[in-house]
């Protein structure tokens, strides 16, 4: 098991290329199973979650070839004949549950393990299952597995309202409906870029989907989908993370390349309030700092609101702000495992239910801290880079799930991060 040794503080100067989005790539990979010929996906990041999902897909008999040098994934589902996603793989990553929708769409039947993933908080899949039942799919739970089946080749469909709106459930229902539901309407559908990109890929494959980018999706069955070549989007969470990293250091000058700024939603609106200069030019974002930052309170909301996947990083940023701020997570109420670890570094934070209050600025001092999930892990890296002295970040395998070449990218702009064995 690896750990990071980080020396701080280190101003950041230079450019960082933004990788492809993990959260967008996984649904695209699942969609590839619905084609009657091979598909290729560009801009796929080299991440543990991608490798895990490749193996989940291979269990079905599908050929998966990952050209790591080109970040290109080739998926050929022509020999797909095994309609199961086993526990030993699905437990490693919750997004493997997308196999339920993909296999329903592909074969009209599926046996998929209930999911695992990050340690923090439950993410119940009841919403997914109720949606499939509303579509007309037979759903049974047996010994930790979901068994899904269709009596005939298709179902009537109907209508389902997602309460609350859910990216994962929206994606799963879309995957299941495009080849099986005569007409299925998803209300209060998630509008995240990951969902929009999935719909665009399926449309290119031949799917009939109306309302893309809105909260109401209308899906009508088509007889077949064709394999295609398609490109993943840049990672908006990685983009926001590195913008925050730059803002934490006085005298930083960072240019992020290969971004998709329009996918950031309201995040730039909040970032601007910090008093940090940043400029968007095409697919480049430049962040320049020259002093203190303002304390800005945020609440996470569904897209295009402030993303829950950036709240830990924002709270870490606020430890260096000139005053008191709050971070409230309205999506997940228990995503604050990073707080006691930041306090070990010297931060002044307190949690009340789903809100953390941060008093800044505080001088952070290097020590040993432990990662508990993906976004909490990167928040500890950001804190360690501004802390005086040496910090030790344990269990960084969480980071390998979601940030491609994190230490290399940061070291290239001035950070001092060494990966060693624990």
CATH code assigned at 255: 3.65.10.10
Mean pLDDT of the chain: 95
Let me know whether 208 and 298 are in one domain: no
Predicted local confidence at residue 119, as pLDDT: 43
Clarify whether residues 28 and 6 are in a common domain. no
- The total domain count for the chain is 2
| Annotated binding residues for phosphoenolpyruvate | 22-23
Q: Are residues 200 and 342 in the same domain?
A: no
Catalytic center residues:
118
- Same domain? For 29 and 148 the reply is yes
Say if strands 253-257 and 84-85 run parallel, antiparallel, or are unpaired.
unpaired
Q: Of 231, 250, 269, which residue sits at a domain end?
A: 231
Q: What confidence score (pLDDT) does residue 124 get?
A: 67
CA angle 267/270/273 to nearest 5° reads 150
Range(s) of the domain holding residue 131: 22-231
pTM tops 0.75: yes
311 & 322 share domain: yes
Q: Are residues 188 and 241 both part of a single domain?
A: no
Q: Is 273 helix (H, G, I), strand (E, B) or coil?
A: coil
- 152, burial (CB in 10 Å: exposed 0-12, middle 13-18, buried 19+): exposed
pLDDT of residue 134: 98
Same domain, 108 and 198: yes
User: Are 188 and 249 members of one domain?
Assistant: no
| Among candidate residues 166, 199, 231, the one where a domain is terminated | 231
Q: How many helices (H) and strands (E) does the chain have?
A: 14, 24
Q: What is the pLDDT of residues 346-399, one digit of tens each?
A: 999 999 999 999 999 999 999 999 988 888 899 999 999 999 999 999 999 989
Distance in angstroms (rounded) separating the CA atoms of residues 58 and 56:
6
Pairing assessment for the beta strands 229-231 and 39-42 based on DSSP bridges: parallel
Q: Do residue 392 and residue 251 come from a single domain?
A: yes
Rounded CA-CA distance 412/396 in Å is: 19
| Judgement on whether residues 73 and 97 belong to the same structural domain of the protein | yes
Domain shared by 173 and 207, yes or no: yes
Last residue of a domain, one of 212, 231, 250: 231
What are the per-10-residue average pLDDT scores of the chain (422 residues)?
94 97 97 98 96 96 98 98 92 89 97 67 76 97 93 94 95 98 98 97 98 98 98 98 96 97 97 97 97 95 95 97 97 89 97 96 97 88 97 93 95 97 86
Query: Is the domain of 130 the same as that of 172?
Result: yes
* Predicted local confidence at residue 122, as pLDDT: 45
Residues making up the annotated binding site are: 22-23, 94, 123-127, 309, 331
């Amino acid at each position: 098991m690896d750990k990071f040794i980080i020396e701080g503080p280190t101003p950041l100067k230079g450019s960082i290329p933004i990788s492809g989005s993990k959260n967008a790539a996984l649904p695209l990979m699942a969609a590839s199973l619905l084609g009657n010929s091979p598909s290729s996906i560009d801009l796929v990041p080299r991440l543990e979650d991608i490798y895990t999902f490749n193996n989940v897909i291979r269990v079905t008999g599908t050929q998966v070839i990952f050209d790591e040098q080109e970040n290109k994934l080739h998926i050929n589902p022509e020999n797909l004949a095994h309609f199961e996603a086993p526990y030993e793989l699905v437990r490693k990553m919750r997004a493997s549950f997308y196999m339920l929708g993909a296999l329903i769409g592909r074969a009209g039947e599926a046996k998929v393990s209930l999911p695992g993933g990050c340690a923090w908080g439950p993410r119940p899949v009841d919403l997914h299952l109720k949606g499939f039942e509303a579509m007309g799919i037979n759903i049974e739970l047996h010994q930790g597995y979901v068994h899904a089946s269709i009596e005939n080749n298709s179902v009537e469909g109907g209508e389902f309202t997602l309460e609350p709106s859910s990216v994962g459930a929206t994606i799963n229902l879309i995957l299941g409906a495009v080849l099986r539901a005569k007409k299925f309407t998803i209300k209060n559908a998630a509008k995240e870029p990951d969902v929009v990109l999935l719909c665009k890929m399926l449309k290119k494959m031949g799917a009939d989907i109306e309302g893309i980018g809105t909260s109401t999706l209308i899906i009508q069955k088509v007889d077949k989908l064709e394999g295609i070549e398609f490109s993943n989007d840049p990672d908006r969470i990685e983009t926001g993370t590195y913008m925050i990293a730059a803002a934490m250091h006085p005298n930083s000058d960072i240019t992020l390349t290969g971004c998709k700024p329009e996918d950031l939603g309201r995040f730039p609106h909040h970032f601007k309030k910090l008093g940090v200069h940043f400029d968007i030019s095409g697919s480049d974002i430049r962040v320049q700092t020259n002093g203190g930052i303002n304390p800005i309170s945020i609440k996470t909301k569904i897209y295009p609101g402030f993303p829950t996947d950036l709240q830990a990083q924002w709270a870490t940023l606020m430890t260096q702000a000139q005053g008191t701020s709050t971070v409230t997570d309205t999506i997940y109420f228990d995503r604050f495992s990073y707080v006691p670890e930041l306090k070990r570094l010297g931060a002044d934070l307190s949690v009340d239910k789903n809100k953390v209050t941060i008093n800044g600025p505080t001088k952070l001092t290097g020590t040993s801290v432990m990662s508990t999930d993906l976004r909490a892990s990167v928040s500890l890296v950001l804190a360690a880079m501004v802390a005086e002295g040496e910090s030790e970040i344990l269990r960084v395998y969480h980071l390998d799930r979601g940030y491609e070449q994190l230490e290399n990218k940061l070291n290239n702009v001035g950070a001092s991060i060494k990966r060693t064995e624990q």
